[in-house]
Copies of this chain bind each other. A is one copy, B any other.
Amino acid sequence: MEDAKNVTITDSEWMVMRAIWTMGHATSRELIDAMNELEGWSASTTKTLLHRLIQKQAVAQHGGSRPFTYKPVVGEKESMAAAADDLFDHMCAMRAGSTIAGVIQSRELSRADIANLQAILAEKAKTAPEEVQCNCLPGDQTC
């Protein structure tokens, strides 16, 4: 099967993806306008980004006739999860907890989000280890 996953979406591309995800599907005109308003980008810039996203198979062109429609191929949730995992993979495992704490504190979360997180944590508490090891260097250290 084709491997449409696993491609890195850059920061600017991410902006375009957000628009496409939110709109569900869009024409290049709609995207160009949105990106111009949001980021002040020229039409060319949005076109280029859209193109790169198509090459990366993060977005697909639909409708045979000329004003094509663009739709996301990769899901927003999955992409965000991948990006977040990628970030935490580069950090010391020992520090993940406090980093997550910081994120939670600085973000707006709905009641439902919070309830969900609480449920997950309650479950996770059952099997949580006393300590998490630092994995920054070969050999056990504590950073």
Q: Find chain B residues with CB under 8 A from A130 CB.
A: 110-111
Bound-state Cα–Cα, A92 to B75, Å: 13
Chain A interface extent, by class: 35 or more
The 3 A-B residue pairs with the shortest CB-CB distance, nearest first, are A97-B113, A22-B143, A22-B136
Determine whether A2 belongs to the interface, using a CB cutoff of 8 Å to chain B.
no
Q: Find chain B residues with CB under 8 A from A1 CB.
A: none
How does the 8 Å CB contact mask read for A24-63 relative to B, with 1 for contact and 0 for none? 0000000000100110000000000000000000000000
In chain A between 119 and 143, which residues have their CB closer than 8 angstroms to a CB of chain B? 120-122, 124-125, 128-132, 134, 136-138, 141-143
Asked if B109 and A128 make an inter-chain contact with CB atoms under 8 angstroms apart, the answer reads yes
Determine whether A66 belongs to the interface, using a CB cutoff of 8 Å to chain B.
no
Bound-state Cα–Cα, A37 to B139, Å: 11
Do most interface residues of chain A lie in helix, strand or loop, or is the interface mixed?
Answer: helix
Q: A120-B104, A121-B121, A132-B108 are in contact. Are A76 and B143 (CB under 8 A)?
A: yes
With both beta carbons as reference points, the residue of chain B lying nearest to A87 in the complex is identified as B87
Q: Find chain B residues with CB under 8 A from A118 CB.
A: 118, 121-122, 125
How does the 8 Å CB contact mask read for A86-127 relative to B, with 1 for contact and 0 for none? 011011110111111111111111111111111011101100
